[in-house]
Amino acid sequence: MLDLSHIRTFLEVYREGSITKAAAKLHLSQPTVTQHVKALETQIGSALFERTPRGIAPTGHAHDLAARAAGQLDDLASLSAAQSGEQRSTTLHVAGPHEYVATFVAPDLVPLAREGVRVQAYSGRTADMLERLAEGAYDAVIALHSNDDPRLRFELLRDEELVLAAAPEWRDHDLDSVPLVAYDERLPVLRSYFLDVFGYEPRGQVVGMFPSQFAIRSFVARGGGMAVFPRYLVAAQLEAGELVLLHEPTTPPTLPYYLATRVGPRRALLERASALLAPR
């Protein structure tokens, strides 16, 4: 019979992607965490992690074990805490775009924290986060697109209007002369916006690429160029005049945000979280 404490330790290492971080979260020493993982590997007869130049990476056996064990172990932890009267009943693992998590997810889930739930958030590329969700690493993902993975279900949270914005100094310039600012050298959002609205790809010079839209917003507000944003992210700056719209199409493009969860019965905690995250 597998040791539940070893599986819990494994799951934290899997979720954190680090023995050091898992040890800190579990209040265990790193040697103890390593020992738990090795003992579990011996029991199942397969390696769960492999060392890479960037740290440790889960094997296929780790993905399978996490998918089968995550929900059940979290439910057991919740039940055990409820019976013992502990304040922190369980942890909700949610992932999504950094800016969306900061703007909506973090404040919306405060009621859960007040009820004794620990909220742990992650961010990354939507495709990667959805795969981690299907494998059991997360409870829910805020996704920018859906897919046809039969392990997942998707619920539309909101369609956010996309806007083309820049500092006021660029207001009267020809769009092709305004520098471009993006988060990816392929310019996926800018290209999509220009093709949808103008029928051609952006022609300006790329002068900045940043992994965070908060950073892009700051760069653009200082006159660095133009970028496409979900309206919620620049609403305050537009109202204050720090940014202006360079174009207002009759039918603006939108960006969907989905709540993705695993198929199957949902924990009561996830139902509560889903209700809190729904637009009001």
Is the pLDDT at 57 greater than 80? The verdict is: yes
**Range 44-57 average pLDDT:** 86
Mean pLDDT, to the nearest integer, of 94-103?
A: 94
Element (H, E) at 23: helix 19-26
Mean pLDDT of 155-178: 95
Tell me the Cα Rg of the chain.
22
* pLDDT confidence bin for 4, thresholds 50/70/90: confident
Nearest by Cα to 98 from 156, 63, 144: 144
pLDDT at 160 over 50: yes
Please tell me which residue, 33 or 135, carries the higher pLDDT value.
Answer: 33
Query: Which residues share a beta bridge with 122?
Result: 95
Burial (CB count within 10 angstroms: exposed 0-12, middle 13-18, buried 19+), residue 87: exposed
The mean pLDDT value of the chain amounts to 88
Tell me what pLDDT residue 86 has. Answer: 44
Q: Which amino acid is at 208?
A: G
Domain ranges for the chain: 1-86, 159-254
**pLDDT at residue number 187:** 92
Question: What is d(CA 236, CA 238) in angstroms, rounded to the nearest whole number?
Answer: 5
The Cα–Cα gap between 64 and 16 comes to 17
Average pLDDT rounded to a whole number, residues 180-186 = 91
Question: What pLDDT sits at residue 207?
Answer: 96
Q: How far apart are the first and last CA of the chain?
A: 47
pLDDT at residue number 150: 84
**Is it true that domain 1-86 has CATH number 1.10.10.10?**
yes
pLDDT in tens, 103-152: 999 999 999 998 888 899 998 889 999 998 888 889 999 999 999 988 89
What percentage of the chain exceeds 90 in pLDDT? 56
Predicted confidence at residue 265, as pLDDT, reads 65
CATH topology of domain 159-254: D-Maltodextrin-Binding Protein; domain 2 (3.40.190)
pLDDT of 62-90, one tens digit each? 888 887 777 666 666 555 544 444 444 48
